Amino acid sequence: MKHLLLWFFFSSYAMVIQGQTEGPHEKVVITYQKKKTQVRTNANSELQVNVSPVDVRKFKARGFVRYSDFGARGDGKTDDINAIAATHAFANQQGLLVKADAGATYYIGGKERTAIIRTDTDFGTASFLIDDTAVKNHNTAVFEVGSNLQAFKLEEVTSLKRNQEKIKASLPANCLITVTNSNIRRYIRFGLNQNNGSPQTDIFVVDKNGNVDMAAPIIWDFDQITEITALPIDEKKLTITGGRFNTIANQAESKYTYYSRNITIKRSNVIVDGLEHRVSGEGEHGAPYNGFINVNNCAYVTVQNCILTGHKTYSTIGAAGKPVSMGTYDLLVNRALNVSFVNCSQTNDIKDSKYWGIFGSNYSKNLLYAQCTLSRFDAHMGVANATIRNSTLGHMGINAIGSGVLTVENCTIYGRNLINLRSDYGSTWQGEFIIRNCVFVPAGGNPISASLIGGSNSSDHDFGYTCYMPERISIENLHIDDSSHPEAYQGPAIFANFNPQLTDASYQEKFPYVRTREVLLRKVTTASGKALRISDNPFMFVDVKVN
C-alpha cells in the first residue's frame, strides 16, 4: 500500500521550477510520471523534464545526480546544455548534489539556456566546451548560482546617512540591502569613455534587528530613496568544485556588446574551488567579456585555487569619438561584499600587455586578493576597503578609486605605478593607503620615470562627488627596482604630476581636489640608488607632510 501511494504521488505530480529572472530559457517544468526519464523542449523553448519514480528513488538513495542521468552525452560534440539545466533543476527541487561525469566533455552551444545552481556541485575532472561563435543571446549566463530566498522591498526606510549604524526595519534574517537614489548621479566618467554617470547606489549588510555591519559601512547620504530592497543571506555555504572550462571566443564586431557566457554568482555564502578557465580562438576582432566568474548582488563569496585566463584586448570607438581599448574580464565583481580571491593565477603572462587586466569591480566592499598571481586589481566605480596580500600583480598593476583602507603587503607589483588612482573617475580615494614589505618594478622593468602613486585630476570636471587623495599614506619596507630608467632620471617620485597646470597659486580649481595630508616612509630603497622625491610638480604637494 505504501508503494502504491508513492507511485500515485509521483505519477500525478508536476512542479514548475522557476529561475530568478523569468526568461523562457530558465523555466523548467518537472513531472514524475511512470515512463522513462527524459528531457525535451516545448514550442516556447521551455524545458519539460519527466523523471520516472524508479529513478527518483535511485537518485535520492545515492544522494546525487549526474548530467548523464538526464541524457547528457559528454562527447564534446552534442549540445548538452538542456540536459545540464534539467539536472540542476531536478537537484534543486530535491536538494541533491550534482556531479559531472568523470572524463566527460560537455559541449555547450549558443542556445539561450541557463543552468540554475542551488545545490553543491562537483564539476570534477569534466571539461566544458563553451562555443561563443554563434550565440543567440550574449547576455545569457551558462550557469547561475542562485538562492531560494527572495528579495523584498523595504518601504519603511526612506532615508539613510553615511556611516549610519542601524536602520529602522525588522527583518527575517541577516540581509543584503541595496539602495538607490536615481535623482543623484555619481561616477560621471571623464575621458574617452565619458558618460553622464550612474544613479547613487550603495550595498551593505544588516542583521535581523537592522544593525549595519560597520566593516562595510554605508558610504553615501541618502536624503531620498527611489528604491531599496533586502535580500536574505543564505546561512548554509554552497560549494562548487573542479571543472575544466574552455571558451571558444566570439568573433563578433569589436564594440561594447559584453558577452556574459559565464558562471554568474547571485547567492551569498558561496565557495568556488579548483575551477580552471581557458580561452581559445581569439582572432583579429571580438566583443569583450563580462567575467567568466561574475559575482554580483551577494556577499561572502570565496574563489580559491582557480586558474583563469586574460582576454585579448580589442579596440573600438569610445564615447568621445576616438579609438579606445575595451576592458574585458575573466573576473568581475559588481555590488558585492566580502569577496575573496585566494591562490588564483592565470594561464597567460601577467606582464603581456596584449591581454587586458583580468579583474574589474564596481560598487563593492571588502575585496581581498591573497596568494594570487594576476595581471590586475581594479576598482572602477568605487570600492570601500580592499586588501592585497602575498600576491604578484602584472602589467596593469593596482588601479583603484574608492574609500576606506587599501592595504598592500608582501606583494610584487609590475604596473606603471605602485598604485594608480583612476583618472577617469577623478583619482579619488577618501581614506588611507597602507603599503608594507613590497617590491615595485616600474612598468615591468621597462625604462620609465617611476612614481609610486599615479593619477591625474585637472579640477575642472564634476565627477558627482568631491575628489580626494588618500589622507594618509604609510609605506614601510618598500624596494623600488628602478634599475631600468630613462636618461636624466631624477629618481622615483611619491606622486605623479596630477595636474601639470597647477604650478603656482594663480591656478583656480573649479572642483577642488583634496590632497594627501601625510606620508609616512620607513625603509624605502631603490635599485638606482637615487633618493625618493615628492613629485615632478612639487608645488602641488607643498603642504604634504612627509615623515
Lowest average pLDDT, out of 9-13, 298-302, 529-533, goes to 9-13
| Degrees to nearest 5, angle at CA 477 with 475 and 483 | 100
Residue range 102-149, pLDDT digits in tens: 999 999 999 999 999 999 999 999 999 999 999 999 999 999 999 999
411 has a pLDDT exceeding 50: yes
Task: Tell me what pLDDT residue 408 has.
Answer: 98
SS3 category, 503: coil
> What is the rounded distance in angstroms from the CA atom of residue 341 to the CA atom of residue 318?
31
Q: Quick one: cell of 139?
A: 547576455
Q: Is the pLDDT of residue 87 over 70?
A: yes
- Per-residue DSSP letter, 146: -
Instruction: Output phi, psi for 506, to 5 deg.
Output: -75, -15
Quick one: what percent of the chain has pLDDT higher than 90? 93
Given a cut of 70, whether residue 10 has pLDDT beyond it is no
Q: Residue 27's pLDDT is what?
A: 83
Tell me what the mean pLDDT of segment 44-70 comes to.
96
With cut-offs at 50, 70 and 90, classify the pLDDT of residue 26.
Answer: low
CA distance 267 to 17: 17
- Which of 6-15, 209-218, 446-455 shows the lowest per-residue confidence on average (mean pLDDT)? 6-15
pLDDT confidence of residue 365: 98
For the record, the C-alpha cell of 476 comes out as 614601510
pLDDT at 6 over 80: no
- For CA atoms 477, 480, 483, 488, the dihedral sign is negative
CA distance 540 to 547: 18
Give me the percent of the chain exceeding a pLDDT of 70.
95
Q: What is the pLDDT of residues 73-84, one digit of tens each?
A: 999 999 999 999
Task: Please say if the pLDDT value at position 2 is more than 80.
Answer: no
Q: Would you say the C-alpha torsion 480, 517, 364, 512 has a positive or negative sign? A: negative
CA distance 13 to 6: 11
In this prediction, residue 55 carries a pLDDT of: 96
**Over 90: is that where the pLDDT of 286 sits?**
yes
Q: What is the rounded average pLDDT of the residues 167-177? A: 95
| Nearest C-alpha neighbor of 463 from the set 104, 167, 129, 185 | 185
Q: Are 409 and 438 contacting, i.e. CB atoms less than 8 angstroms apart?
A: yes
Burial of 92 (0-12, 13-18, 19+ CB in 10 A): buried
* pLDDT over threshold 50, residue 378: yes
pLDDT at 317 over 80: yes
Residue 514: CB atoms within 10 Å: 13
Distance between CA atoms of residues 541 and 534, nearest Å: 7
- Res. 1: pLDDT tops 50: no
Give the pLDDT confidence score for residue 170 in this predicted structure.
87
Amino acid at 159: S
Backbone Cα Rg of the chain: 26
In angstroms, the Cα distances linking 280 to 75, 131, 277, 290 are 19, 10, 10, 16
Q: What is the DSSP string of 427-456?
A: S-EEEEEEEEEEEE-GGGGSS---EEEE--
Q: What is the pLDDT of residue 203?
A: 97
Mean pLDDT value across the chain: 94
Tens digit of pLDDT for each residue in 475-501?
A: 999 999 999 888 889 999 999 999 999
Angle at 193 between CA 359 and CA 227, to 5 degrees: 75
Q: Tell me the domain boundaries of the chain.
A: 2-131, 152-232, 407-547
What is the tens place of the pLDDT at every residue in 232-277?
999 999 999 999 999 999 999 999 999 999 999 999 999 999 999 9
